[in-house]
């Protein structure tokens, strides 16, 4: 089992030269970094929401790749490979990484419709960055670009993900909920159900499942944390296209319960 954290991404880029190169480019690109910084200015500084910045990008990237690998091991074929938009597994993983890392940049414009805005903002960035990662890619960069844009757009709560790659990014976005990092934006300094449920969650783990391929285990010190699972994580799973492959367990000092399916 692995803990959802900002360092999980290191595990995945250490195994792949392509992912390592892509991650280093993302981390050093001025436009990408300033968009993520501006997204957090909008979310935290102006709307007084919880974090939507660089730490969240790193967390979602690692979580998405972890889910992707577990599902691969279970025999689930990446959609980009099935349809020929990616030529191999490394390119499929690249789609996941790019989408996960960039998925919140639309907040740099506004929180409203930020998933659609983010997909559109990503277009020119991807046109520029994908050939840096794969210099020989040629016109195929447009196929990968569109897969990434789709995955960013599909993180919207009511939008159905149409690829495995988009599905793991969507679910991974919902796993970043430990220690007050809930994916329901709550007003900082305001004590309500959103805030109480967020601070109740202490750790999230991703591991192979018991009845289904992948399990998400949420550790909490108060059942108020169930609100985050019901309001964010489960709806994201239900629009991910991967709902039949995921189970959720909750653990606290007294109980270890399956809450999905």
Query: Looking at the predicted structure, is the pLDDT value of residue 35 above 90?
Result: yes
pLDDT number for residue 200: 86
DSSP 77: P
Task: Work out the number of other CB atoms within 10 angstroms of the CB of residue 255.
Answer: 9
Residue with tokens 């992948």: 214
The CA distance from 80 to 54, in Å, is: 27
- Contact residues for 70 (Cβ-Cβ < 8 A; gap 6+): 206, 207, 208, 213, 214
Kind of pairing between the strands at 214-220 and 2-3: unpaired
The string of DSSP codes covering 20-36 is HHHHHHHHH-HHHHHHH
Residue with tokens 């436009």: 31
Query: Looking at the predicted structure, is the pLDDT value of residue 111 above 60?
Result: yes
pLDDT in tens, 204-240: 999 999 899 999 999 998 888 898 899 889 999 999 9
pLDDT in tens, 38-93: 999 998 888 877 777 999 999 999 999 999 999 999 999 999 999 999 999 999 99
Using DSSP, state whether 238 is helix, strand or coil.
Answer: helix
Total domains in the fold of the chain: 1
Kind of pairing between the strands at 246-251 and 214-220: parallel
Peptide bond into 261 cis (omega under 30): yes
pLDDT number for residue 192: 64
pLDDT number for residue 36: 97
pLDDT number for residue 222: 84
- Contact residues for 68 (Cβ-Cβ < 8 A; gap 6+): 78, 92, 93, 96, 164, 165, 168
- Name the pLDDT band for 199 (thresholds 50, 70, 90): confident
Query: Looking at the predicted structure, is the pLDDT value of residue 251 above 70?
Result: yes
The CA distance from 103 to 253, in Å, is: 34
pLDDT in tens, 156-198: 999 999 999 999 999 999 999 887 665 555 555 556 666 677 7
pLDDT number for residue 225: 85
Average pLDDT over residues 134-161: 97
pTM for this predicted structure:
0.94
For residue 127, give the nearest of 259, 228, 209, 29 by alpha carbon: 29
Instruction: State how far the alpha carbon of 205 is from the alpha carbons of 66, 97, 176, 178, 196, in Å.
Output: 10, 19, 10, 10, 20
DSSP 48: -
pLDDT number for residue 29: 98
The CA distance from 35 to 117, in Å, is: 12
pLDDT in tens, 100-109: 999 999 999 9
218 bridge partner residues: 204, 250
pLDDT number for residue 82: 98
Residue with tokens 């050939």: 131
pLDDT number for residue 224: 81
- Name the pLDDT band for 28 (thresholds 50, 70, 90): very high
105 is in which domain, residue-wise?
Answer: 2-260
């Amino acid at each position: 089992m692995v803990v959802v954290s900002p360092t999980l991404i290191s595990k995945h880029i250490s195994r792949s030269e392509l992912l390592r190169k892509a991650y280093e480019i993302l981390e050093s690109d001025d436009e990408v970094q300033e968009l993520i910084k501006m997204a957090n200015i909008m979310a935290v500084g102006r709307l007084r929401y919880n974090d939507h910045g660089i730490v969240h990008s790193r967390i979602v990237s690692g979580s998405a790749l972890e889910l992707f690998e577990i599902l691969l091991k279970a025999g689930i074929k990446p959609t980009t490979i099935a349809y020929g938009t990616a030529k191999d597994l490394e390119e499929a993983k690249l789609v996941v990484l790019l989408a996960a890392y960039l998925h919140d940049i639309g907040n740099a414009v506004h929180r409203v419709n930020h998933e659609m805005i983010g997909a559109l903002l990503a277009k020119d960035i991807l046109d520029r960055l994908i050939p840096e990662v794969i210099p020989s890619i040629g016109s195929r960069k447009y196929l990968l670009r569109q897969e990434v844009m789709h995955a960013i757009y599909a993180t919207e709560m009511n939008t159905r993900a149409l690829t495995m790659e988009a599905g793991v990014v969507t679910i991974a976005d919902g796993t970043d909920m430990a220690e007050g990092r809930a994916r329901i934006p709550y007003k900082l300094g305001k004590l309500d159900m959103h805030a109480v449920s967020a601070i109740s969650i202490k750790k999230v783990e991703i591991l192979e499942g018991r009845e289904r391929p992948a399990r998400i285990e949420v550790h909490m010190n108060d059942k108020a944390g169930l609100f985050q699972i019901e309001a964010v994580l489960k709806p994201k799973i239900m629009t991910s296209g991967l709902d039949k492959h995921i189970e959720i367990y909750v653990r606290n000092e007294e109980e270890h319960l399956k809450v999905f399916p």
